[in-house]
Amino acid sequence: MKNKTVRKNMKCRIYFSFFVALTLLLNFWEAGFTQVSRHVPSDQRGDPNLRRKSNIDGNNVRATVFNFGLSGRTAAVPDEIPYEWPKNTKRNYIALVAIWLAGEVKDEDGNIIQIVDFPTFRQSPSGESWNLEPVPGFLNPDANSIARSDDPSTWPTAAQGGWRDKRDDPVDPGWIGSWNGFFGKNVFNADQELFYRTSDDLYT
């Protein structure tokens, strides 16, 4: 009698485990299918004409930051600084840092292909950018700098509608004249902050 009860309980556990696993699998499949079928491409497109660079020297570190995924020095350019610490000592520890984006996707024929996006040095056969490029709405296009916390002239202007990601704010649309930083609106905890958004949509 005891053995029959144990076997019955084990069968119930197996059925329950199978039911849970199947339910989870179907939920994941449905979520994945829904995500693909409902995907709407972002309207935040990169613009090579908005490429900028800025030098930072906060927290005793100096370096050049580019708004398309690079920081450091790209070549022997006098106004570009590899990571220097302590600042103004010419002690350089890192020459260049770059963001690479990689993933596997299915093409239209169902083949798995690998895609790697770079910040720079890549172009289409016709000479157009296939790089990461800055997105409009996150800097003043008339300024020769990335938007930075210590220079309001580099922030998006009222004519642009302010910060692109804050234009739907019902209280202060666009946060015009305010800093849009990591710590919040007009919060200047860091010595210096830079803000940019970059896109890989040009790589087709």
Domains of the chain, by residue range, sit at: 1-40, 48-199
pLDDT of residue 106: 86
pLDDT of residue 180: 97
Q: Going by C-beta distance under 8 Å and a sequence separation of 6 or more, which residues neighbour residue 179?
A: 149, 152, 155, 185, 186, 187, 188, 193
pLDDT of residue 39: 60
Write the single-letter amino acid at 75.
Answer: A
pLDDT means per 10 residues in the chain (204 residues)? Answer: 47 45 50 55 88 94 95 90 95 93 87 88 86 95 97 98 97 98 94 94 78
* b/e per residue 127-155 (b: at least 16 CB within 10 A): eebbbbbbbbbbbbeebebbbbbeeeebb
pLDDT of residue 107: 86
Residue 156 DSSP label = P
CA dihedral 126, 96, 52, 164 (to 10 degrees): 90
pLDDT of residue 124: 85
